[in-house]
Structure 1
Amino acid sequence: MMKNEAEIWTLVEANAARMIQLSDDVWAVPETCYTETKSVALHQQALEDAGFRVRAGVADIPTAVIGEAGEGGPVIAILGEYDALPGLSQQAGLAEHSEVEPDGHGHGCGHNLLGAGALLAAAAVKDWLAQTGAPGRVRYYGCPAEEGGGAKAFMVKAGLFDDVDIAITWHPESLTDVQGGGSLANTRIDFAFHGRASHAASAPHLGRSALDAVELTNVGVNYMREHMPSDARVHYAMINGGGIAPNVVQPYARVRYSVRAPQLPDMVKLVDRVRKVAEGAALMTETRVEPEVLSAVSNLIANAPLMEAMEAELQRLGPVPFDESDRAFAEEIRATLSEEEKRDVFARFNAPVQEDRILCDFLLPAGNPKPPISGSTDVSDVSWVVPLVQAMVATAAIGTPLHSWQMVAQGKAPAAHKGMTHAAKIMAGTAVAALSDPTLIERAKADLARRVGPKGYTSPLPDGTKPPIALMSL
């Protein structure tokens, strides 16, 4: 073990208790996309208590915050999140579905752990810089609205990463590995249809149904699926169906689409096709359609030098040190999972299935090919402008699906705390490696320049698009 690693891991452990408490406190106040007022207040207080220089409400987002420490030298960004998901309220520590609050929110993607773990890493790096006197700055980015709001894309467009040298983050999972390249570029776009109300029985001919337009849009997009790339994805949700009165021709209705593709240009083309379907539906129903882009994120860009550096940290550190009590609760959770769910995570990590394993108390082979993630993330937009690396670290029973009540149930468990602390050591160790070896930053920047090419980064957000704060607060 190298001296710097031993020091930084010790500093992580020294800060762990208060950041574990932060994670549990955020778990207890689950807030969704752009409404994370209590969660960001907890993070801001933790930053101030740890001695960071704090900037609140950055990029005109009230629930975004940045804390910085250190002087001169390279700028290392460590990215955290703290938004929850709707409809996933669940009692902690219970291996059966039991809501805390009917139809309430829950941390089904583990972002209570993600934010606190990233802040734990940043606090340790801050202490390391102070103790060693090394030049450099560590900057914690408290990022809201990853689930559908794309806050980091707005933060990138606002220039908040312009002076950053490298960025580091992590995500809770049920297996541990360094995340590879690739994710789906994604646009969330609403189509609001405006028609004409009338009595549905006595004067239906006078009405123009906005709900009909929504339904025709959905039918058209479903027919389009046969004629779009097989690795693209399109989903929709009814936001406003026009009310509850069937005897009124609905004058207003709204549908939300999520359009994804592995590469940004392909996603942009697919969004244009969905727009045309909506315009056609408006033409057929003699209604008017207003499209509104809520958020848009790019596909993820990998960085080989940083992945190698993080992999080295992970291999030296080893797997998360779970114990028998952790395994006992994980076994209860796994009893609620299907066999398909237990196997699926191994496929997503491109790893052989290990059916007898309860928790990820092992490492995947070094150099294991890194498949792209099948979802979308606003971390991707940071990866286009700053060399970025991300760890996936086990905090839950193997096979636990993200966005599930089972993930929420494990969010305050000792196993989750151990995984979070382990992730902080991996991230902090990677940061110290970059601060101790300037050539790593140089190689990471060169790798990014090669991958993005001469055209560089173009934000997928149309000019003038604002974070949909008011809309998400409804």
Structure 2
Amino acid sequence: MMNSDAIWGLVEAKRAVFFDLSDRVWDTPETNYAEHAAAEAHAAVLDAEGFRVARGMAGMPTAVMGEAGQGGPVIAILGEFDALPGLSQVAGLAEERPLVAGGNGHGCGHNLLGAGALMAATAVKDYLAAHGLAGRVRYYGCPAEEGGSSKGFMVRAGLFDDVDIAISWHPAPFAGVNNPVSLACNEIDFHFSGRAAHASATPHLGRSALDAVELMNVGVNYLREHMPSSARIHYAITDAGGHAPNVVQARASVRHLVRARSLPELHALSARVRAVAEGAAMMTGTTVTSQIVSGDANLVGNTPLETLMHRHLERLGPPAFDAADRATAEAFQKTFTAEDIASAFERFGLKLRRGVALCDTIFPPESGAGTLVGSTDVGTVSWVVPTVQMRGATYAIGTPGHSWQLVAQGKLPAAHRGMEHAAKVMAATALDLIADPALIAAAKADHAARLDGTPFVNPIPDDVDPPLPVTSNA
């Protein structure tokens, strides 16, 4: 393991640049594939820092990439910058108060995620240049992680074909190596077509697409008893066919989000959901079509990479939060339930400690909460490239995910400190890999062994385009 102090100093030297980038992205929260200000902000920093910049990859206008260095291995550091709808919140305030009524907010900390990943990539670039080392670091600015699956489209476009190792992180209440467990998923739209009729005078002539949607949902609810306990299915009616109850609805649509522990299990469960849809159509005399909108593979772990990253975490220690950070976090904890706080400790394999508001330890490797996991498009990358992720402590312990409390903490000094901490760990991990080919070889051998006999099938089919927002020239 190299002496990490030099690379940590390079991270510290760019604090002002990347704290400002994170805050500017927080100030302009944009949702899936509409992150134009965020993407341009990242591209501008890449330009200013001397990266070779590409934009609009894989048919996604808000994707951005920067590469630096020559020869040697290629290390990818993955960033995100999309926000969530309906979570606008005044910064720093431990009381729910929207900044913009109905507006967006960074309720998953992606303003920190993108800026922190680029902070790490920049430090690696500067170190390679200063020491004349062969190697390339590549920053991936990935839009639309929240249900848009941009990394899956990037994988499909071949943007990871020459990458040796991928590194990423995510804001969290605790710091440590991410337990590589997530659920593979597909979002699938089901469109039912029937026949309109007067609901009272001639109901026998109608074929209700809305009835079909409701029957499909009932059928899926019965399916839940007969699927693996780790699987999840959620739905939202996206088109109820209209607002007139005296009309038999001739069209209706529903989106189902199907999640499973692995890609093979996902494909099997999705087929069963489609069969339920066909049954609902048969029962109502309607027809149904389906279309995958997005999809993520499950995470594939990598023991050599996780061991390497954990060593850097142990050497660095937890983030250096101060008394003011802890007092602010305590104020936010007063807005949480006791269950919120206990669940946070449990999820990261830690014993509940009352009165602790901010992370003061490194959580152990391979910790987690069993089936209580979500999905991430980093999973798709991990099937084609050995991948490692860390969790960076940036907010009060117990903060609910996708909440106004998380948004409110996104510009605090504690968030900046946690982001810098994550950048140091990622940068040091990347440099060790560049300096020691044996580490990369070990990671690739582990990756190949884990996937032996399980061919990769991208959960995003070739005929699916990124679900870009509809724009109008009017």
Deviates more, 1:238-247 or 1:375-384: 238-247
After superposition, what is the alpha-carbon deviation per residue over 1:156-182, rounded to whole angstroms, capped at 9, x for unaligned? Answer: 111100100101000000111101222
Deviates more, 1:376-385 or 1:97-106: 97-106
TM-score (norm 1): 0.96
Matched, 1:209 2:201: no
* Offset at residue 384 of structure 1 (A): 0.9
Structure 1: which amino acid aligns with 2:113? L
The residue that corresponds to 1:167 in the other structure is 166
The residue that corresponds to 1:451 in the other structure is 450
Structure 2: which amino acid aligns with 1:207? G
* Offset at residue 369 of structure 1 (A): 4.2
Q: Secondary structure at the match of 1:138?
A: strand
The residue that corresponds to 1:262 in the other structure is 261
The residue that corresponds to 1:105 in the other structure is 104
Once the two structures are superposed, the pairs formed by residues 316-465 of structure 1 within 5 Å of their partners are 316-365=315-364, 367=365, 369=367, 374-465=373-464
Give the fraction of aligned pairs with identical amino acids, expressed as a percent.
58
Structure 2: which amino acid aligns with 1:320? P
CA RMSD in angstroms, aligned pairs only: 1.6
* Offset at residue 462 of structure 1 (A): 2.2
Contact 1:181 1:370 in 2 (8 A): no
* Offset at residue 206 of structure 1 (A): 2.4
TM-score (norm 2): 0.96
Segments of 4+ moved more than 6 angstroms:
none
CA distance in 2, matches of 1:407, 1:208: 46
Once the two structures are superposed, the pairs formed by residues 57-96 of structure 1 within 5 Å of their partners are 57-96=56-95
Contact 1:33 1:472 in 2 (8 A): no
Structure 1: which amino acid aligns with 2:429? T
Contact 2:78 2:166 in 1 (8 A): yes
* Offset at residue 145 of structure 1 (A): 0.9
CA distance in 1, matches of 2:25, 2:471: 19
After superposition, what is the alpha-carbon deviation per residue over 1:205-224, rounded to whole angstroms, capped at 9, x for unaligned? Answer: 22222111111111111111
Q: Secondary structure at the match of 1:469?
A: coil
The residue that corresponds to 2:43 in the other structure is 44
Structure 2 runs not aligned, ≥5 long = none
CA distance in 1, matches of 2:25, 2:191: 34
The residue that corresponds to 1:141 in the other structure is 140
Deviates more, 1:265-274 or 1:30-39: 30-39
Structure 1: which amino acid aligns with 2:240? G
Structure 1 runs not aligned, ≥5 long = none
The residue that corresponds to 1:238 in the other structure is 237
Contact 2:178 2:366 in 1 (8 A): no
CA distance in 2, matches of 1:34, 1:343: 35
Structure 2: which amino acid aligns with 1:231? S
CA distance in 2, matches of 1:450, 1:370: 23
For these two proteins, the number of residue pairs brought into alignment is 471
Q: Secondary structure at the match of 2:234?
A: strand
CA distance in 2, matches of 1:190, 1:401: 28
Contact 1:213 1:281 in 2 (8 A): yes
Structure 1: which amino acid aligns with 2:274? R
Structure 1: which amino acid aligns with 2:179? G
* Offset at residue 471 of structure 1 (A): 6.3
Q: Secondary structure at the match of 2:243?
A: coil
* Offset at residue 472 of structure 1 (A): 10
CA distance in 2, matches of 1:368, 1:144: 28
Cα 1:112–1:146 shift into 2, 3 Å: same
After superposition, what is the alpha-carbon deviation per residue over 1:231-286, rounded to whole angstroms, capped at 9, x for unaligned? Answer: 11000112112222222222221111110111111111111111111111111111
CA distance in 2, matches of 1:11, 1:67: 18
Q: Secondary structure at the match of 1:94?
A: coil
